[in-house]
Each structure stands twice: as structure tokens, then as C-alpha cells.
Amino acid sequence: MRILRLRAWRMGLRSLRLHPMRSLLTVLGIFVGVASVIWLLAIGQGISSAVQRQIEGLGADNIIVRSIKPRRDSTEGQSGRRRFITQHGLTRRDFDRLKDTIPTIDHALPVRELKREFRRGVYLVDGRLVGCTPEYATVTHVEIDEGRFLTDADLQFKRNVCILAAGTAEKLFPIDNPIGESVRVEDLYYVVVGVSKPRAPSAGIGGSLDSQDFSNDIYIPITDLWARIGDTVVSRRQGSIEGETLELNQITLRVNDVRNVLRTAAVVKNTLAEFHREADYGVTVPLELLERAKTTKLMFMIFMGIIAAISLVVGGIGIMNIMLATVTERTREIGIRRALGAKRADIARQFLVETIVLSIVGGMTGVAGGLTCRPMTEVLRALLEKVFPTAMDSLPEVIRDVQPQIVGWSIPLAFGISVGVGIIFGLYPAVRAAAMDPIEALREL
């Protein structure tokens, strides 16, 4: 004997058509629940994927060591003027020591960064002057649009050449081709030999790796920076003299095998701790961050799924409420059917069919609505940027520019849960209708 007879399905559908508005509102509750499951998991997947891409961009086989400026009190000289020059961070000796004494390190990349004003005629840009080596382009994914990047010869002969970031080139050379032209960096001049492609800013990752905007950079040979600018930078402001001595802002170490990364990172930390009295550096291991991000992603997806599942439960409660009201309204119908020979199973079957139909229709429309999450996110983002521009600008970029990614298993999961919720919450009204005494029901006539 079949559990659900064709006749029961026909009667259930006919009953739902008699109350279209009530059926529509019931379906809407399931629709919201199913769409919420797909939407929230897609948004969570998009955010997690963006974070993982940023971490993977640092290189799973890399170890990044950054200088950190410690807090120190200034000293007052004669006439009450503040005078202090701090010395901190990574040194060239640290670079040589790490590169030469740790056998698992294949390559080491030194980086020195300075905030400077770049001039070309009447055009002015505030940006970063980055002293680096030719390997910097490969490690940090700098792509050349015109010209070339630094070469070993530039490094060896300390040539005054530079590569402009896309934003710097656009601002200093809005019309002209920058290749072969000169750019003034305070009192120094550099010949442009290349222009890089646009590069998205990076979010802050790890305790010592701050967010960075690469659009206004200029890249020069690090040997030229050491020779022409030096390690000490002094500035005078409102009667005070401030300065710092810093040899390297960052050392990127590439390990010969991903399996050796964590062990090498421990050796790096111990080596630096031996020669630095204070914690004026930070070590970031992208592999550790990547593993942590995967764990966080799983927890985040479970949390988002639970929130969305609550919407489905609320929709199920709505189904139960509607069906209980329907049972009360159709007391006479139940009495007549029982008097004509219908069994309790037939009554329960009819009401259960109605709840299953509502759940299936709500689940199917919810899946269709969930698949529109990407275009709808763009519409919602554009609307929020117009209505709440300040609030949107304050959000982290990874959240502000999130691109939802549909999680394949969320579609059958959400649809299956919607049908399951409909059956579970529809059982009680169906059983209650079937348990009704036909004599008592006929009294309603």
C-alpha cells in the first residue's frame, strides 16, 4: 500500500488552492528560510575565500619578518625642545645571519620603505619609496605593464632608476609616457624604466603585517637607497627634532620545502631573539595563518548555517500554526469524510500532503531566490553606498567588496531541510485531525 495516494495529493492541492493568500504566506516563510541558508553560506564562503587568497598571495613557503617601532619617551634638550632619534628593527646583519646560517632558506629578500613626496613638474604624489631587489616582483606579485623591473646590474651599480606603480604613473604622467623620464624624490632624481600594473591593496594579516596600499609606490634598487639616502631619517616639526634609524623594514624568507616552514620559523624567531633585546620585530608565517583561516572558515560556515536554519524552523512553526487553524476550520469536512467511511490514515494523509506541498514549493522558490545572491548583493551594495556612504567606507575591504560564492552542497541541504521541517511540523496537525471524533465533528453541521 502506498504511503501517499494520488487521491490524497489531489485533495491536498485542491484545499490549498481554496486559500491562496494563506498558502502564499506559508510558502513565504519557507522561502525566506531556504534563501537565507544559501545566501549566508555563500557570503561566508566569499569572505573566507578572499581572506585565504590574500594569505596564499604571501606564499605558503614564505616567512615574513617585519620591523616594529617600539614606544619610547622623547628626551628634552636645551630650550625645552624635544630631540630623539630611535634605532630599532631589522638590520643588514640580521639579513645576512638568517640567509647564511639557516640551511632550509632558499632565498632572502630585503626591503626598505620610506614615505616620500614624488614630483614631476607641477604634479605631486605622496607615496612610498621602496628599496628592493629584482626578486621583489616575483615574491610580491608585481606585474610590469610597460618597460621592465629592476635587474641585478641596477643593484650592483646602484643605478638611479625606478619603477612606478600604476597610481603613481597616472598622477605624475597623466598624458605623457613615463618611460625614460625623470621623477624627483625630494632632492634626488630617478629615471623611470618601468610601470607596474594596478595592484589591489592588501588587508592587515597577522600581528606585524599591516594593510598596505601599493598604488602610489616607487621601486628603486635597495643598494642605491642605502648609498644615497642612508638609514637615518630626521624630521623637524614645531621646534622638535625627530628621527629614526632603520636599516630594513622587512625580510621575506623563502623556504626550500613547505614541510620545513614551521620548523624554520621557530629557528628564525630564536635567532632574532638572541640578538634583539626588545621585541622590535614581528614574524608572520602565512602557512600558519592559512591553516588558522581554514579552521575559522569552518566555524564561520557552521555559525552562519545555524542562523539560517533558525529561519527554516520559524517557517516550520508557521506551517504548523496554519495547519492547526485549517484543522479547526475544516472540522465539518473531517466529520463528513469519516462518516462516509474515510479512515484516520486517510485524514492524516491529506493534511500531511498539504504541508509537504507547501514545503516543496517554498523550498523550490527559496533555491531560486538563493541563486540570485550574487546580483542581488551588487544591488544591495550600491544601495548602501548611496544611503550610508560613511558606514560602507569604514568597513574592511574584504567585507565591503565581498563576492558571494554559492556553496554547492547548501542547495540540496536547504531544500532537504525545508521538506523535513514541513513533514515534522505537519505531523502534529495531521495526527490531531485524524484523531478527531466523527460524531463530535458532525455536531458542527
Q: What is the mean pLDDT of each run of 10 residues along the chain (445 residues)?
A: 55 66 77 82 77 64 86 50 71 92 90 93 93 88 92 94 95 93 93 91 54 85 92 70 84 85 89 87 78 71 73 74 71 70 73 80 85 78 74 64 78 82 77 70 57
Q: Are residues 103 and 174 in the same domain?
A: yes
In a domain, 262, yes or no: no
Confirm if 112 and 244 have CB atoms less than 8 A apart.
no
Q: Are residues 331 and 359 in the same domain?
A: yes
Q: Are residues 27 and 73 in the same domain?
A: no
In a domain, 268, yes or no: no
Q: Are residues 46 and 68 in the same domain?
A: no
Q: What is the pLDDT of residue 367?
A: 87
In a domain, 11, yes or no: yes
Q: Are residues 105 and 252 in the same domain?
A: yes
Q: Are residues 230 and 335 in the same domain?
A: no
In a domain, 214, yes or no: yes
Q: What is the pLDDT of residue 21?
A: 76
The grid cell for 334 is 473531517
Spatial strand order in the sheet of 82-87:
75-76, 82-87, 240-245, 232-237
In sequence order, what DSSP letters do the residues of 105-138 get, joined into one string?
EEEEEEEEEEEEEEEETTEEEEEEEEEE-TTHHH
Q: Are residues 66 and 195 in the same domain?
A: yes
Query: Residue 256 has what DSSP assignment?
Result: S
In a domain, 276, yes or no: no
Q: Are residues 41 and 66 in the same domain?
A: no
Intra-chain end-to-end CA distance of the chain, in Å = 33
Q: Are residues 77 and 164 in the same domain?
A: yes
To 5 degrees, how large is the angle CA 50–CA 199–CA 190? 155
Residue found under cell 588587508: 203
pTM assigned to the model: 0.61
Number of compact structural domains in the chain: 2
In which domain, by residue range, is 383 found? 6-54+292-442
In sequence order, what DSSP letters do the residues of 125-188 get, joined into one string?
EEEEEEEE-TTHHHHTT--EEEE----HHHHHTT--EEEE-HHHHHHH-SSS--TT-EEEETTE
Q: Per-residue b/e over 70-82, b at no fewer than 16 CB within 10 Å?
A: eeeeeeeeeeeee
State how far the Cα of 207 lies from the Cα of 116, in Å rounded to an integer: 25
Q: What is the pLDDT of residue 4?
A: 45
The grid cell for 115 is 614615505
Q: Are residues 370 and 398 in the same domain?
A: yes
Q: What is the CA radius of gyration of the chain?
A: 34
Q: Per-residue b/e over 421-434, b at no fewer than 16 CB within 10 Å?
A: bbbebbbebbebbb
Residue 242's CB is within 10 A of a number of other CB atoms, namely: 15
Query: Residue 229 has what DSSP assignment?
Result: T
Q: What is the pLDDT of residue 391?
A: 66
Q: Are residues 197 and 298 in the same domain?
A: no
State how far the Cα of 388 lies from the Cα of 22, in Å rounded to an integer: 36
